[in-house]
């Protein structure tokens, strides 16, 4: 029995150390609020800034990257907040809609939306059965966090798709521009501009762009 307990303790400690070592290697990305508004000038403009950010956060979350939403609004304050929160990178994004009837795109106004993120916690027990209780709590916490992330992603995509149904017309072009920079540095580690044209009214053009940007950001950060 004593040998079994020692073996379980060794396994548990090994898992903790491995988990800690992996966490220490993770880089943190601060995601600034995007500038993203669809249908501006139609009288039914839809602000999708926070839904776009929530979708980006959901795509970026994983074992290789830690993500945090930055609340500051202007570059100087965003940079200061990123440093305060020990971010290794800051992601800035802009969504521009070019209407079919116009020959130019309009840079959209920044307007924040409230977002609620559930905070979760876990518990611990006492040696022997304590290890099993801790592992069970960690499993439950992971499941709860996974569920919360899926809900946030679903809500964000519903808001984005709803805005596109009302404001995106056939022939409109959506451009997703982003830059990934380190705090206090001007030269981006990665920057690009992706664009796609709607083939029909209400088409979901934005979701594939968000996924492509997230994939590029993960590749850049993980390669550092």
Q: Would you state the pLDDT for residue 135?
A: 56
Percentage of residues of the chain with pLDDT beyond 90: 48
Contact 177, 209 (CB under 8 A): no
- Can you list the domains of the chain with their CATH numbers? 28-100+125-222 (3.40.50)
Contact 31, 158 (CB under 8 A): no
26 burial type by CB count under 10 A (0-12 exposed, 13-18 middle, 19+ buried): middle
177 has a pLDDT exceeding 70: yes
Q: Which of 42-51, 80-89, 132-141 has the highest mean pLDDT?
A: 80-89
15 has a pLDDT exceeding 90: no
Mean pLDDT of 31-48: 75
Q: What is the pLDDT of residues 159-173, one digit of tens each?
A: 888 888 888 999 999
29 has a pLDDT exceeding 70: yes
Q: Would you state the pLDDT for residue 104?
A: 40
Q: Which carries the bigger pLDDT value, residue 6 or residue 124?
A: 6
Question: Which residue from 56, 55, 62, 7 is spatially nearest to 180, judged by alpha carbons?
Answer: 56
Percentage of residues of the chain with pLDDT beyond 70: 63
CA 195/CA 206 separation, integer angstroms: 9
Q: Would you state the pLDDT for residue 163?
A: 86
Q: Would you state the pLDDT for residue 167?
A: 87
Mean pLDDT of 112-135: 46
């Amino acid at each position: 029995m004593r040998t079994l307990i020692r073996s379980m303790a060794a396994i548990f400690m090994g898992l903790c150390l491995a988990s800690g070592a992996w966490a220490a290697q993770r880089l943190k990305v601060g995601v600034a609020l995007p500038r993203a508004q669809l249908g501006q000038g139609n009288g039914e403009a839809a602000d999708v800034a926070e839904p776009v950010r929530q979708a980006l956060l959901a795509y970026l979350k994983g074992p290789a990257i830690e993500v945090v939403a930055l609340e500051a609004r202007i570059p100087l304050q965003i940079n200061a907040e990123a440093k305060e929160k020990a971010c290794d990178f800051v992601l800035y994004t802009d969504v521009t809609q070019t209407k079919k009837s116009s020959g130019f795109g309009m840079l959209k106004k920044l307007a924040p939306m409230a977002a609620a993120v559930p905070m979760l916690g876990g518990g611990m027990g006492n040696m022997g059965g304590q290890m099993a209780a801790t592992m069970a709590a960690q499993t439950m916490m992971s499941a709860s966090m996974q569920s919360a992330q899926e809900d946030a992603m679903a809500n964000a995509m519903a808001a984005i798709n709803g805005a596109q149904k009302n404001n995106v017309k056939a022939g409109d072009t959506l451009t997703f521009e982003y830059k990934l920079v380190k705090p206090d540095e001007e030269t981006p580690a990665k920057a690009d501009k992706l664009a796609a044209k709607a083939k029909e009214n209400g088409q979901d053009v934005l979701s594939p762009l968000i996924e492509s940007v997230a994939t590029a950001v993960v590749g850049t950060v993980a390669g550092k």
